[in-house]
Amino acid sequence: MTDFIVPFCEQKVVILYADEDVVVVDKPSGLLSVPGKHPLNKDCLITRVQEQYPDAYIVHRLDMDTSGVMVLARGKENLSALSRQFQERQTHKQYLAWVYGIMSDDEGEVDLPLRCDWPNRPKQMVDHELGKPSLTRFEVLERKLETLQSKVLLKPVTGRSHQLRVHMAALGHPISGCEFYAHKQALEQATRLQLHAWKLSFTHPSTGAPFLWTAPEVF
């Protein structure tokens, strides 16, 4: 894959919450979570947050085009504790998305194994032989007949790269504005990827208290 220069993201990272152990942020669409390989792609979420919290570490990532809530750890001990929660699926994520077409089912799940499509990185693909188990649950919140779109609540059980994009495309309802998996009509439905990390729940690494944070809806 040819490296490219990411356009500078003018939107700010909003700090939703911070204490001595964690920082919860609302990442804007168009901003990398971590620095890219190209020397001009150093601007990203973690470098911006570290300007205010030098001990912050990335625990999980959102795609550049995806907006929404993320938690960062302060210090290596908290990084280990939070990373363990993600690895053991003790965290819970909810995403909002507008997808192409009018979905017939009010709710359901997509259980399709995924792996990297190596010749076309960073794209992923369904592979029933070599793919890793991947599960997404969905609920339709709204249907717009005039624009041929459905608003869905997505609850990923696993956390594969591009999981929500590939799973919705596999259903025949690609996410609007998705440059990787949307067909022409779906791509032209929006100027940005219509995927937003809406809610994130986890356990505070020091106090053990349950935490639930919501990023304001953006579409």
CA-to-CA distance for 94 and 139, rounded, in angstroms?
11
CA-nearest of 30, 35, 37 to 46 is 35
- As annotated, the active-site residues are 63
Q: Are strands 22-27 and 135-144 parallel, antiparallel or unpaired?
A: unpaired
Buried b / exposed e along 141-155 (16+ C-beta atoms within 10 A): eebeeeeebbbbbbb
Place of tokens 């608003």: 151
The number of beta carbons lying within 10 Å of the beta carbon of residue 173 is 24
Sign (positive/negative) of CA torsion 79, 83, 86, 90? negative
CA 128 vs. chain centroid, Å, equals 24
CB atoms within 10 A of CB 205: 23
Instruction: Give, in degrees to the nearest 5, the angle at Cα 189 between 184 and 193.
Output: 95
Which are the contacts of 57, defined by CB distance < 8 A and separation ≥ 6? 46, 72, 73, 74, 75, 76, 78, 79
